[in-house]
Structure 1
Amino acid sequence: MKTLNILSGGAAQGLVRSLEPAFEAETGLGIAGDFGAVGAMADRLRAGVPTDIVILTAALIAKLADEGLVLRSSITDIGRVETALAVRAGDPLVSADDAASLRAALLAADAIFVPDTKASTAGIHVAKLLAQIDIADVIADRLRVFPNGATAMRYLAESNDRRPIGCTQSTEINSTKGVILSGPLPPGCGLATMYTAAIPAHVSSASPAQRLIALLTSSETSERRSQAGFISGLTS
């Protein structure tokens, strides 16, 4: 089967996969490619990896447009995704109403599962947050860092630690079996990131990519986006 090649932040993986059957039925194309830390995906596009569509943060897509790597006219917002807390299914939920309670929750955990703290949207935010609430050094040996949030959540689900916790984007939590979304980060600590689709400048035929973008953003799939963890109309 021919495929549409995609480079995407991990935040969009669950939504894209949920729409894949409808896309395949309509176009006869499967969806292949990579989902991971947005910085790594952007670098793959820059390196010339064959790509028909990219889904990354709005800020990064804008930068790629400035670099002439994506068609500015194709840029389309999908929705915002919050960074949130996760626990294993069956574990007590962990909530944080303010920075102090978030600090206490993280200090109480014996393992903290997060995505790449240098290349992923949520991981970069987590690193800043740990410094902000002054526990980066204290919990350094408990931090479990993985290439992306989906991988971090899979390892959280399989963890044998006594009281593990995870922090990544809500869509990656929602799409991983064995973990549940415990709650958003509190005011002053949160992050809501707009994810945006675009078509690379070198694509010879943009029609299939345009159709996938239409599916990802149409009113008919709004409930699917909401279930995945995308939020419409939320400001940063």
Structure 2
Amino acid sequence: MKTLNILSGGAAQGLVRSLAPAFEAETGLGVAGDFGAVGAMADRLRAGVPTDIVILTAALIAKLADEGLILRSSITNIGRVETALAVRAGDPLVSAEDAASLRAALLAADAIFVPDTKASTAGIHVARVLAQLDIADVVADHLRMFPNGATAMRHLAESRDRRPIGCTQSTEIISTEGVMLSGTLPPGCELATVYTAAIPAQASSASQAQRLIALLKSSETSELRSQAGFASGLTS
């Protein structure tokens, strides 16, 4: 079966997976996706990896458009994703109403599962928050870092630590079995990221790619977007 090739931030993996059967039934095309840290996905596009759709942060999509790598006319906002806290299924939820309670929760954890703090949207933000809370050095030995949020959450689910916690984008938490969304980050520490889809300039299946983008944004799939962790507001 011919496939539509996607390079995407991990935040969109659950949503794409949920729409793939309907897209395949309509077009006869499967969906093959690489999902990971947005910086790494952008570098794969730059390296010439065959791609029909990219789904990355709005800021990174704009940069790729400036580089001439995507069709500016195809850029479509999908939705906003919050960075959030996660716990293992069955563990008590962690409350963080303000910076002080977030600081206490992170200090109380004996393992903190996060995505790459240099290449992923959520990981970069986590590093900033730890510095902001003045605990980066204190919790450094407790950080468990992985290439992307989905992988970090899978390892959180399997963790044998006594009091583990995770922090990544809500969509990656929701789509991972064995972990639970424990709440978004509090005011002053929050991050809401707008994700955007676009078609690369060298896409081989541009018309089919446009159809999948239409499905991703359609009013008919708004409930699926909500279930996957996407909010409709686009303020970042």
Structure 1 and Structure 2 fold alike (TM over 0.5): yes
Aligned partner of residue 153 in structure 1, secondary structure? helix
Identity among equivalent pairs (%): 89
1:88-132, CA deviations, whole angstroms, 9 ceiling, x for partnerless residues? 000000010100000000000000000000000000000000000
Match of 1:149 in 2: 149
- Whole-Å Cα distance in 2 between the matches of residues 89 and 204 of structure 1? 42
Give the aligned length. 236
Distance in 2 (CA, whole Å) between partners of 1:202 and 1:155 is 36
Q: Which residue of 1 aligns with 2:93?
A: 93
Q: Identify unmatched segments of 5+ residues in structure 1.
A: none
- In structure 2, do the counterparts of structure 1 residues 234 and 54 end up closer, same or farther at CA, with 3 Å as the change threshold? closer
Q: CA RMSD in A?
A: 0.6
Q: Secondary structure of 1:49's partner?
A: coil
Aligned: 1:211 with 2:211: yes
Deviations 1:42-61 (A, max 9, x none): 00000000000000000000
Is 1:16 paired with 2:16? yes
Q: In structure 2, give the amino acid aligned to 1:70.
A: I
- In structure 2, the partner of 1:136 is 136
Q: Which residue of 2 aligns with 1:174?
A: 174
User: Aligned-pair distance for 1:234?
Assistant: 4.6
Secondary structure at the aligned position of 2:187 is classed as coil
Partner Cα separation in structure 2 for residue 178 and residue 33 of structure 1? 23
2:184 corresponds in structure 1 to: 184
Distance 2:185 2:11 in 1: 17
Whole-angstrom CA distance in 1 between matches of 2:31 and 2:226: 21
- Partner in structure 1 of residue 25 of structure 2: 25
Is 1:7 aligned to 2:7, yes or no?
yes
Three-state SS of the structure 1 residue aligned to 2:41 is helix
Using the TM superposition, give the Cα deviation of residue 33 of structure 1 relative to its aligned residue in structure 2, in angstroms: 2.6
| Aligned residue type for 1:92 | P
Task: Using structure 1 for the length normalisation, give the TM-score.
Answer: 0.99
Runs of 4+ in 1 over 3 A off after TM superposition: none
Partner AA of 1:24 in structure 2: E
Partner residue, 1:230: 230
Structure 2: give runs of 5+ residues left out of the alignment.
Answer: none
Give the Å deviation of 1:204: 3.7
**2:118 matches 1:118:** yes
